[in-house]
Structure formats: C-alpha cells, structure tokens
Amino acid sequence: MAGVSRFGEFSGKPTLSRLALASVVGNVLIVGTGGAVRLTKSGLGCPTWPRCTDESYVTTAEMGLHGMIEFGNRLLTFVLAAVVIAGVIAAWQQRPARRGLRLLSVGAAFGIPAQAVIGGITVLTDLNPWVVGLHFLASMAVIAAAYAFWRRTLGSDGPAQPTVPTPLRTLARLTAVVTAAVLVVGTWVTGSGPHSGDSGAARNGLDPESISQVHADTVFLLLGLSVAIWFAFRAVSAPPAAIRAAGLLILAELGQGVIGFVQYLTGLPVALVGAHMLGSCLVWLAALAVLWSTRERTAAATLPPTPTDTRQLERV
C-alpha cells in the first residue's frame, strides 16, 4: 500500500513514473501507427469524423483493410487516453501535493483530445498536406508535454538549479529550437512527396528536391550544434548525465540522417519512411533530454532554512 516515506516523498512515485513513461511511449507509438495509416493509403479508410462512416462509429466490412487500419489507429487513441487519465489521477493523489506535477499531468492529458480534433480536421479536409503536417507537429508537442511530466515524476519540486553555465543553457535551448525547425521542414518535405495517405489527396506544391535540400541544411546545422554542445559539456565538466544526453542526441541524428539519405536515394520505400517518422520522435526526445540536463531540481528538504523558519523552530 502506498504511503509517505520519512523524506515526505509519496511511495507511489514509481507507479506514477511508469504511467508517465507509458504516456511518452504511447504517444510515440501513435505517431508510428499514424504513419502506417498514411503509408498504406488508409488516410480516408474512415472517410468522416468523429464517426467512421455517416451511419457508424466503427468500421464496416465494406470498407476493407483500409478502414480497419484507420479505425485501429483511432482506437489506440482511447487506449492512450486511459493511460494519461490514470497518470492524472495518480498525480493528484500524490501526498504531499505537488502543484507543478499536477499541472504537467493535466497539460499532457489535454493534448490527447486536441490531437484527436486535429486528426478529425485532417480527415474532413481530405488529407490536406498542411493539416497532415500540423497533425504530426501536434504529436511532437504532446510528446514534449508527456516527457516533461515524466521527468518531473523522477525529481522533486524544489527550485531548479543550473548544471552548466548560462551560455551552454542558451545553446541547449537553441538546439531544441533548431530540432523543432527540422521537424517543421520535414513535414513540408512529406507534403511534397508521394505518400499522401490516399491516392486522391493533394500535395502542397513545393518542389521535392528544393525543400529536401532545405531540410538537409537544417539537419546539418542541428548536427553541428549538437557536436558543439557535446564538446562544450565536456570542457566545463558538466554532469555525466548531460554529456551522455548530448552524445545520444548525436547518435540519434546520425541514425536518422542515414535513414533519410537512403530513403531519398531509393525512392522513398514505405518501410524506411516509417522508420524515419519514428526516428524523428527519438531525435526530438533526445533534444529534450539535453535541454532537461542543463538544470536539476533540489529537494526542498535539503535547502537551508530561511530566517523565518529558524525563528519558528526556536519558538518550538
């Protein structure tokens, strides 16, 4: 049975951390299944929303495999919602109450219905490539919220203390911003390519070669920043966790770059495009890990007492 330890930490914390981590993993899997919907041309397997057809909320036999794939992706959203709701409940049951943790849990939860609505708009606009791109980017925002929630479950609510000098914290923020830019441009590349999600879906009209070059340029910029931050962390003797996070970011980028170039040179095979989508999630998570490693929260119990606290103790 969960209780309170002698440090005032809720002993149910491991359960909460597992729920939060499951939310992160679930959101990444939703990106993967969403990619499967698009890559199998099942984007309009359920041609309307929120119902699957005008008469039914579920797929029908007449809709075939495409309907099953699209409806299956919708069902996974409900599974993820259940995990997220369980995380919110667990966060609100924490004793002592942790306001920051509660807010993060609610923020991660609200991302699920918002993402579902954007997905519905995607269907109702017949897979407009700009809306499809927004759908993917919304998933990245939800993943960021879920990641922040998970990381907060592993620490305390004490004041955040920098682990590296201010210039390196700024460099980490810049790296995260450039990572986001890479994701945005990546959706433009996707919107100009052949995998539209349905044979009748429109494309965004951008030249695939030109926008792919822009995407490659932003990737090279990101890789340069990542290598720089890895060397900088080592130079200032940053905590091992920070150096490790920067190294993992570089590895994720190199792996994603290899997949990207191979898929481009081989005519965008479905398997590699799907792997590239999942790789985008890993790069994004790695960038968030670097950003998170630039500070840590000190448990409130380890902070020196304030003058007011001292006076109160003297009275006792």
State pLDDT tens for residues 198-254: 777 888 889 999 999 999 999 999 999 999 999 999 999 999 999 999 999 999 999
Q: Residue 297 has what DSSP assignment?
A: E
Q: End-to-end alpha-carbon separation of the chain, Å?
A: 33
The pTM of this model reads: 0.86
CA distance 292 to 280: 18
CA distance 28 to 40: 19
Length of the chain: 316
CA distance 101 to 148: 9
Mean pLDDT over 43-58 rounds to 85
Integer-rounded Cα radius of gyration of the chain: 22
Asked if residues 153 and 176 have their Cβ atoms less than 8 Å apart, the reply is no
Looking at the predicted structure, is the pLDDT value of residue 9 above 60? no
Confidence of residue 98 (pLDDT cuts 50, 70, 90): confident
Q: Report the C-alpha dihedral over residues 219, 222, 226, 229, rounded to 10 degrees.
A: 170
State pLDDT tens for residues 99-142: 888 999 999 999 899 988 999 999 999 999 999 999 999 999 99
How many percent of the chain have pLDDT more than 70?
Answer: 90
Torsion sign across C-alpha atoms 5, 9, 10, 14: negative
Q: Residue 295 has what DSSP assignment?
A: E
- Cis, bond preceding 167 (omega within 30 deg of 0): no
Looking at the predicted structure, is the pLDDT value of residue 188 above 90? yes
List the helix and strand counts (H, then E) for the chain.
9, 2
In 10 A of CB 262, how many CB atoms?
Answer: 13
